[in-house]
Chains A and B, each alone.
Chain A
Amino acid sequence: MIQQDAAPKPRRNVELALLILALAVGIGASAMVDLNSETPFDNDFWFQSSLLVVAALSFHVVLRLRAKYADPVILPIVVALNGLGLALIHRMDGPGSDTGNNQLRWTLIAVAVAVTAIWLLKDHRILRRFTFISLAASAILLVLPLIPFISAGEVLGARVWIQIGSMTFQPGEIAKITLAIFFAGYLSSNRDLILLAGRKIGPMQFPRFRDMGPMVTAWLVSIGVLVFQRDLGSSVLFFGLFIVMIYVATSRISWVVIGLALILGGGFVASRIFPHVAFRLDSWWNAFTPEVYGRSPGGSGQIVQGLFGMADGGLVGTGIGLGRPDLVPFANSDMIIALIGEELGLIGLFAVVLLYLLLFTRGFRAALGTRDAFGKLLACGLSFALALQCFVVIGGVTRLIPLTGLTTPFLAAGGSSLLANWIIVGLLLMISHSARSPIDTTPMPDAPTEAVKQP
């Protein structure tokens, strides 16, 4: 239906060429950071750059071996974003702080995990067998940070971290993948049931009450995350993920209407009950009021400093390593978009946003091309999760919507987010491989005699 004419081509050489460009972006950014440091081009720089090159090229080689027909532009985009992120995090490292090396370590771990996933799984359809296991896994992952002994306690107002030894981890990041697998598996098998039954009220068809079960579950999960973990961003992400997946599965606008009504209702109640939600709204709406700016906790200082930074960057930016992003709290994680806006300017920020946009379109392209319903839903859900994350973060930093604590995929400092996003990329590559690979047309072993062509 989609690619019937010319024989599909693996296009791995295109990927290699783009990958070299992407590595040039990452290493170039890193070099510009190094130029402005006290010891330019020391061993650290060469060590980090070569590790990045090795990681990217080994991923490329694995794709050549295991997923020959995978989309050629996904990997270069992700490598460029990750390399840029590494350079910028390294740039923010003061003396004694080690965030840059930690991020590099996590990048290597994440690439290794994604490569292993591609090597072992080979076909995304196997994941469908784990539909309900992934539901259970999501529940466990979401509850983990609330269990006393492994919980890392309340960090920056949110209870989303666990601690194993000296390592901290955010299990909610992995939960977004397992939830996407569950929704895709559940909706691809129960789609017809949800679609056919229901009452028609006005122009919209509403689902039966008992088909609302999963939706109510998703809503309760998001509310639970909001109440118990105080994590507004993840709460929005989980619920948005579910609404989009059920909308894609059934193409009924009523789900979106119901979902938005539930979000607005929940958000209104939450802003009345929980002070941290109310503070977030207030510091968004009245960001420039002096008393809101200086308030602690819940002041708008971070957002406003980020906006000032971006204004200082202007069209072409101050140049990497030449701005003053140290004035913005969390410039290497939550506010990394403000850092890019300041040092690379509007032109650089648009380039980064475009890279994200291209990544999402490739994810949705894989969803369109693949032939199984599960793969379609999974690719849609995963690309949408990335897109929603970017929207929430970039919208928050630019004061379009209230700032919530989600990470910028691949750019922001944070190991668990990096790991989860690389796994998502691995899954998208696998799905795009099955979407683009030629259909197996060899005859079946016990094929009946060839039918004669009749006009």
Chain B
Amino acid sequence: MSELTITALRFGFLLLLWVLIFSIVSAMRRDLMIGRKAATGAPTAREVRKHPELAPPAPAAKQQARQLVVVEGPLKGTTLPLAASPILLGRAQEATLVLEDDYASGRHARLFPQGSRWFIEDLGSTNGTYLADQQLTRALPVELGVPVRIGKTVIELRP
């Protein structure tokens, strides 16, 4: 075996060792990136372009509530189209939805639009208003399909 071949093999082996090290380091790079992204929050636009899987999921199209449905209680099945005006719920005759419910107060609760959402607010009723099993203490937004209970009546917003 010639001197030249042996020298080439010697340097080739050292090169191989360092190739291994650089491959290991580049395999670890992704791990370091994860830490950095976690620290800075959302990936940058450049990172998203390079790694499409990092893109945050597109927000679901917001659906507007179009009608109010009574799903339980004496008025079960009643629907009421929602406009841009607030709705008064209660036993009183001036209420938008007059509840035939012994457990409801006269002026029980108010449902009002704000921005793109509807909010429900208790008007000092005797038996309280419940949004998804939680008694209201202040005005809270009502999402689609979340039950609102007033006495024995349960209403929901539907698209």
Q: Which residues of chain A have a CB within 8 Å of any CB of chain B?
A: 1-6, 11, 14, 17-18, 21-22, 24-25, 28-29, 32, 35, 72-73, 76-77, 80, 316-317, 319-320, 322, 344-345, 347-348, 351-352, 354-355, 358, 362, 365, 452-455
Contact = CB atoms under 8 A, between A and B. Distances in A.
Contact of B11 (A11, A18, A24, A316): A316
A316 B16 contact: no
A345 B14 contact: yes
Contacts of B20: 18, 21-22, 24-25, 76, 80, 351, 355
Contact of A455 (B17, B37, B134, B141): B141
A32 B9 contact: yes
In order of increasing CB-CB distance, the 9 nearest A-B pairs are A319-B10, A351-B17, A452-B132, A21-B20, A73-B24, A14-B27, A3-B34, A347-B14, A354-B21
Contact of B34 (A6, A22, A316): A6
B125 to A, nearest CB: 20
A73 B17 CA distance: 15
A366 to B, nearest CB: 11
Chain B contact surface mostly: helix
Contacts of A29: 13
A18 B141 contact: no
Interface of B: 1, 6-7, 9-11, 13-14, 16-21, 23-25, 27-28, 31, 34-35, 37-38, 43, 51, 53-54, 131-132, 134, 140-141, 143, 146
Contacts of B25: 358
B13 A28 contact: yes
Nearest to B5: A35
Nearest to A358: B24
A2 B54 contact: no
Contacts of A355: 20-21, 24
A72 B27 contact: yes
A375 B37 CA distance: 25
A319 B31 contact: no
A177 B131 CA distance: 57
Given A17-B23, A452-B132, 13 more contacts: A3-B34, A3-B38, A21-B23, A22-B20, A25-B13, A35-B1, A77-B24, A80-B20, A320-B13, A344-B17, A354-B21, A355-B24, A454-B140
B1 to A, nearest CB: 7
B10 A317 contact: yes
A454 B131 CA distance: 10
Contacts of B9: 32, 35, 319
Nearest to B41: A5
B14 A348 contact: yes
Given A28-B13, A454-B140, A2 B35 contact: yes
A439 to B, nearest CB: 14
A21 B18 CA distance: 11
Nearest to B53: A6
Nearest to A451: B132
Contact of B14 (A11, A351, A455): A351
A358 B31 contact: no
Contacts of A77: 24
B16 A319 contact: no
Given A3-B34, A5-B54, A76 B24 contact: yes
B13 A73 contact: no
6 contacts: A2-B35, A5-B38, A5-B43, A5-B54, A21-B19, A24-B20
A365 B31 contact: yes
A187 to B, nearest CB: 26
Contacts of B10: 32, 316-317, 319-320
A77 B53 CA distance: 29
A86 to B, nearest CB: 15
A373 to B, nearest CB: 21
A421 B143 CA distance: 58
A319 B11 CA distance: 8
Given A3-B34, A455-B141, A18 B24 contact: yes
Contact of A348 (B1, B17, B23, B141): B17
Contacts of A365: 31
Contacts of B7: 319
Contacts of A344: 13-14, 17
Contacts of B132: 452
A316 B27 CA distance: 27
Contacts of B54: 5-6
Given A6-B54, A316-B14, A358 B27 contact: no
A455 B138 CA distance: 13
Nearest to A35: B1
A316 B17 CA distance: 12
Contacts of A348: 13-14, 17
B142 to A, nearest CB: 10
Contact of A351 (B6, B18, B28, B134): B18
Contacts of A452: 131-132, 134, 143, 146
Contact of A25 (B6, B16, B43): B16
A312 B11 CA distance: 17
B38 to A, nearest CB: 6
Nearest to A361: B28
B35 to A, nearest CB: 7
A34 B28 CA distance: 34
